[in-house]
Amino acid sequence: MKEQIGFERLTGLIAFARAGSLGSYTAAARSLSVSPSAVSKSIQRLEHQLGVTLFTRTTRSLVLTAEGRELHERALRLLRDAEEIGQLAKRARAEPAGTLRIAASLPIGIHMIAPVIPQFCAIYPNVKIDLRLSDHVINIVDENIDIAVRLGELADSTLLSRHLSPYHIGCYASPEYLARHSAPEHPNDLTEHKTVNLRYQNTGQVFRWPFRVGEQEIDIVPSSEIIVDVSEAVVAAVAAGAGIGMAASFVADSWVKNKKLVPLLTDFTVERHNISVLWHESRRANPAVRAFLDHLFGHF
């Protein structure tokens, strides 16, 4: 069974490597930021442990013995390895690398997170992204998640957090639907239209449509012919002409840009500022986490 190296012997090997290279205890002590006597005692203990004399000492010089010369090169390799470990740790602190685990709800992941990932990976090619999409709130510590992006008000938490930019919630319909039906001018007019609504997967409740009417915010629950439990399905059904639906602007914007959806009741839309990015204190110094947070905040 191999003998395990002790801390005292390790420090002795470091002192021996420096003294052998620099030719004196004083120079070795200066490079290690310790006293010459500490270097001398450390090397004496090492000689006792190894059972060999490493230096021939005179009042003016420090010369390696035959045994010392043989061991010195090995000690130098040990010292170089130790310094390389330090450099690797320094680079790890400075250069984003490794796997970054991100959790988000389905609509946020599809419309906000996924589109900015390619540019991030082009800038930081040593980072791999593991994006997990679910409308269920998870414990990011237990699930080993680096960054979570959540929609809605946050419960009291020890997690670090920051809001992303506000967005709007409003009504939309397809051009085909509006070709057959007149556009509503007030939320009350929705009773005369077919609607598509969302049911929350985690609660089973249907979405209450918010509107800004004057200085007040009201909400209604339309009698919808179609109810789905994924926001993407709401938008897809509305774009296919199923009726009027309500969606967040970050979900609907691309559909509007492609002229597949038309915004309605724009004077009654509400603004929300409740998309939050969360990360644990232990991830604060992670270069990949810091880089992705900066990237995300730069876009939103």
* DSSP states along 52-83: S--EEE-SS-EEE-HHHHHHHHHHHHHHHHHH
Q: What is the pLDDT of residue 1?
A: 41
Domain(s) of CATH 3.40.190.10: residues in the chain: 98-165+274-299, 167-272
Q: Are 172 and 235 in contact (CB under 8 A)?
A: yes
Class of domain 7-92: mainly alpha
Alpha-carbon span 175 to 139, nearest angstrom: 42
> pTM for this one?
0.65
Q: What is the pLDDT of residue 259?
A: 96
Which numeric CATH code is attached to 98-165+274-299?
3.40.190.10
Query: pLDDT means per 10 residues in the chain (300 residues)?
Result: 66 89 89 91 91 85 88 85 74 80 93 96 96 86 91 77 95 97 96 95 92 94 94 96 97 96 97 94 89 95
User: What pLDDT is stored for residue 77 in this prediction?
Assistant: 85
pLDDT at 158: 77
Q: Which residues contact 10 (CB under 8 A, 6 or more apart)?
A: none
Cβ–Cβ < 8 Å for 225, 193: no
Count of beta carbons in the 10 Å neighbourhood of residue 111: 20
Residue 166's alpha-carbon distances to 30, 180, 194, 249, 268, in angstroms, are 57, 33, 29, 10, 16
CB atoms within 10 A of CB 249: 18
- Count of Cβ atoms closer than 10 Å to residue 260 Cβ: 18
Q: What pLDDT, on a 0 to 100 scale, did the predictor assign at position 207?
A: 96
Predicted local distance difference test score (pLDDT) of residue 78: 81
* CATH domain 167-272 topology: D-Maltodextrin-Binding Protein; domain 2 (3.40.190)
